[in-house]
Amino acid sequence: MANSKFEYVKDFEQPDALLPNTWIVVRIDGRGFHKLSDHYAFVKPNDRRALDLMNAAAVAVMKDLPDLCIAYGVSDEYSFVFHPTCQLFERRNAKLVTTIVSTFTAYYIHLWSTYFPSKPLQPPYLPSFDGRAVIYPSARILRDYMSWRQVDCHINNLYNTTFWTMVQQGDMSNTDAEQELKGTVSADKNEILFKRFGINYNNEEEIYKKGSVLYRQYELQQPSQEHEVGDEDESSISEPKQSRSQQDKLKKLRRKAQVVVDHVDIIRDEFWQRRPWILS
């Protein structure tokens, strides 16, 4: 241990541990991806390669960090969720956010050429991401957070699909399309798509309409964070305690589990009821 007269500077560091026993969501978002997507000529409104690349980087993050229980991505953003029992980095905010952001960015850049083989990355157009952590006190509110992101995906995708169809197939200028869409509601956009272009929005690809949800799929046993058999006292105010070996076993199971990429409704109960281990 280095011991010097300079060590006092360490006392200037601010503690930033996130509240215990809460869900931690780290949301990252591409910096200036509007420009970046122009530079590399992403297909508008949805470049499938770019979304697959986002998902591949997110899967790598999930595999790297077994404390993550679910992730949701749309456009240039991804939300990663840590379980309330997570103790990684003593729950220090900066450590968690920077680790997610840099791991994701590293994989995104590493995998770029797989998804865009004919478009090598060129400085200064290099992908980077910002990130923040928010804590949520209950599974209900965490689910509302996830619903909020998926509703956002839907609203943006319906708008973008209509806008780009008017521009690409309707030969309208960007300004004219934007002007006509001002103040319209969902039903109006569905009608424009259907009546003018014969497009039924419901038939658009699920990945565009619903975004991407990542979770672990287990072959046999599903790991449970819950108490031992017989310990069913729901009113207990103490946190579920796990022994070291239980924790290690869980971690091993999580590491071995397959990470699934799905494009489904996560607003209704069904998704969660069918996969109770995700939030348990």
| Candidate ranges 46-54, 178-186, 191-199, 225-233; the one touching ligand ATP (CB under 6 A) | 46-54
Which residue blocks in 202-279 are alpha helix, DSSP H?
Answer: 206-210, 244-256, 270-274
For position 33 contacting Mg ion by CB under 5 A, the verdict is yes
| Candidate ranges 7-15, 26-34, 209-217, 256-264; the one touching ligand ATP (CB under 6 A) | 26-34
> Rounded to whole angstroms, how far apart are CA atoms 214 and 59?
7
> Rounded to whole angstroms, how far apart are CA atoms 129 and 119?
20
- For the bound state, the minimum distance from the C-beta of residue 161 to ligand ATP, rounded and expressed in Å, comes to 12
Site for Mg ion in 53-82 (CB under 5 A): 75-77
Residues in contact with 101: Cβ distance below 8 Å, sequence separation at least 6, in sequence order: 26, 28, 129, 130, 131
How far the first Cα of the chain sits from its last, in Å, is 41
Total residues in contact with ligand ATP, by rule CB under 6 A: 15
For position 29 contacting ligand ATP by CB under 6 A, the verdict is yes
For position 159 contacting ligand ATP by CB under 6 A, the verdict is no
- For the bound state, the minimum distance from the C-beta of residue 197 to Mg ion, rounded and expressed in Å, comes to 26
> Rounded to whole angstroms, how far apart are CA atoms 135 and 78?
16
The b/e string for 199-228 (b: 16+ C-beta within 10 A; e otherwise) is bebeeeeebbbbbbbbbbeeeeeebebeee
Total residues in contact with Mg ion, by rule CB under 5 A: 6
> Rounded to whole angstroms, how far apart are CA atoms 247 and 179?
56
| Candidate ranges 16-24, 27-35, 115-123, 165-173; the one touching Mg ion (CB under 5 A) | 27-35
Binding residues for GTP: 29-34, 75-76
Q: Which residues bind Mg ion (CB under 5 A)?
A: 29-30, 33, 75-77
Q: Which residues bind ligand ATP (CB under 6 A)?
A: 29-34, 37, 42, 44, 46-47, 50-51, 75-76
